[in-house]
Structure 1
């Protein structure tokens, strides 16, 4: 009947004795897995289960790959005991590991110092910021010059200086030469108070914390007054004083009579110019600063005339005689003014400079002479600006006319397009 029975090989396979069914697959004890079951990758086989022969279609099938075998677990590291918390009062519990040292509490004194220091820093920063806000002007708040507050804009500061010291800076210095009292005008001696430069130096923000914070408490910021000295001009003025005050005289030419008169010099006591420069400069600074200056005694020395007879003769021939030889005329635009024997002696003179006689013009007397003659006449300057005729313009033209030898050369026109 039917197909082969259990244990009977299929057709085409050799016959063999399978033996008893119970011995076909002997019992096999699998090693226990991690949970006690069969080992991973094994298939359980029961003794009462008969083997099953593969059909003919499996004859040429590839053999199944062996199932992977999990590696046996390696030895586990020993477990470390958990640390035991310290007992009461920080004592270590018996059998526990070494106890950690308790942190030291912060000192209260140090904390207060840190807070105090932080507060001071904050206060200083706030004060510094407030000081900067107060110092936003051109000249910072509290800036003084010779005791006068000039804080504010630059124009305001210049006005304050001129109002406070303008009269003082123009007042004549009282001097004494060989017991004789003489006066020296600062503007003619090159002595000035430069308000513009003083303000320019004082202007600008001062970021020094001491100065900035000090302004909040009314602390002054002192600026120096700038008083430049034209030393060459001062020496010329002192030489003139020495000629009029001492017993020594310098050779010169006078025009008092309307004609040039040569006056030789002579030896004697005269002003020590080198020793007087610093004294005059100091006296001017005191006069501007306080408004008062006692008469200054200037040193004298024995002097010989520096102008020789030969120089005196040259000055007479080249300037003095031509200057007084006739009338000269100065023109500007459509206006003109003649100068003659009556007006010229008030305007021109000769003075010794380094042993040489040079002509000198009294600009105040010159302006008084021509008055408003040239009013309305404008001169174009090198900058392109147009300004009115000045005494310097008239003096320059007059000097050229005075040495003219012909009538045409003794008429000089001021160039109104000098630019």
Structure 2
């Protein structure tokens, strides 16, 4: 019998060793590049960050906001072109609840990105794309679409218009009108495209068959209970010994309006215009609020006092007093 002789160990495969060494080298280089990327990018907004194609990276948040506004400001405020029932109209974004929130967008962009692909890519000019924050005020957009459509649709909602010296009833009519839900989505998407590319072309606003939600009887009720009394004579608003008259010939038609709430007409007050009309009349007059603080007269205070006075018949009843003491 031959003695058991131990077998010689199999020779190591040189190719495998090289692969192991190469893999280790790649890991070391990758870690080095990752660390270098973190060290080199101390900016609030990481280098290579873009929003709608605009490079906003490599600096502070304020700098990023300025870059974004400078590059896209004109597009943000550019009116949109719409067609409603074949007629072309325009829509101003700032009046329709459409905007690019630069501050919020930059806050999103300023978040630290520890993704190795992004960090290492930043060393070699890689791009990090951040979606813009573009909130849409649905209610404001729907109202703006209705205004912009104007006479383009055949459907008319019942309402009351305030004109110099009089209130005018407008009775509703069935017909074609904008499809509010579909229109809002289409216009919001077109606005984003316009901000990104500079043009959205002409947007065809969807229309549908519509019936007025405000009945003729409701228009008559609103005319009788509010509109006619409101426009019958001057009202005077007083606070802290100071007062201002507002009349139906000029002031009241600028301030008063009507909106639909669940099929009913409710009066509205243009607070911005109201503030312009009374100007500095109530400067120095302070109102003690329910929380104990004293603050200046606000347009909402004036509108509240007007609400009761506009329904009055006598001079005394048509004088609205803003109480300065909450107690």
What TM-score, normalized by structure 1, do the two folds share? 0.65
Does residue 134 (structure 1) correspond to residue 40 (structure 2)? The answer is yes
**Shift in Å at residue 252 of structure 1?**
1.7
Q: 8 Å contact 2:309–2:317 — kept in the other structure? A: no
Instruction: Count how many residue pairs are aligned between Structure 1 and Structure 2.
Output: 322
Match of 1:41 in 2: none
**Shift in Å at residue 224 of structure 1?**
0.8
**Shift in Å at residue 369 of structure 1?**
3.1
- What are the ranges of 5 or more consecutive residues in structure 2 without an aligned counterpart? none
Among 133, 143, 153, the alignment partner of 1:246 is 153
SS at match of 1:345: helix
Query: Does the C-alpha gap of structure 1 residues 283 and 98 become closer, same or farther in structure 2, counting only changes over 3 Å?
Result: closer
Q: 8 Å contact 1:168–1:288 — kept in the other structure? A: yes
1:226-252 CA distances to partner (integer Å, 9 max, x unpaired)?
112222232233334445322222222
RMSD value, Cα:
3.5
Aligned positions of 1:100-115 closer than 5 A:
100-115=6-21
Aligned positions of 1:284-299 closer than 5 A:
284-299=191-206
Match of 2:319 in 1: 410
- What are the ranges of 5 or more consecutive residues in structure 1 without an aligned counterpart? 1-96
Match of 2:256 in 1: 348
**Shift in Å at residue 126 of structure 1?**
0.7
SS at match of 1:187: helix
What TM-score, normalized by structure 2, do the two folds share? 0.81
Does residue 360 (structure 1) correspond to residue 268 (structure 2)? The answer is yes
Query: Does the C-alpha gap of structure 1 residues 409 and 158 become closer, same or farther in structure 2, counting only changes over 3 Å?
Result: farther
Aligned positions of 1:40-79 closer than 5 A:
none
Query: Does the C-alpha gap of structure 1 residues 103 and 274 become closer, same or farther in structure 2, counting only changes over 3 Å?
Result: closer
1:161-189 CA distances to partner (integer Å, 9 max, x unpaired)?
33333443333322222232322232332
Higher relative contact order (CA 8 A, sep 6+): 2
Query: Does the C-alpha gap of structure 1 residues 337 and 292 become closer, same or farther in structure 2, counting only changes over 3 Å?
Result: farther
Query: Does the C-alpha gap of structure 1 residues 397 and 296 become closer, same or farther in structure 2, counting only changes over 3 Å?
Result: farther
Q: Is the deviation greater in 250-259 or in 205-214?
A: 250-259
Match of 1:220 in 2: 127
Structure 2 CA distance, aligned partners of 1:147 and 1:386?
49
Does residue 263 (structure 1) correspond to residue 167 (structure 2)? The answer is no
Structure 1 CA distance, aligned partners of 2:77 and 2:294?
28
Match of 1:21 in 2: none
Structure 1 CA distance, aligned partners of 2:161 and 2:323?
28
The answer to which structure has the higher helix fraction is 2
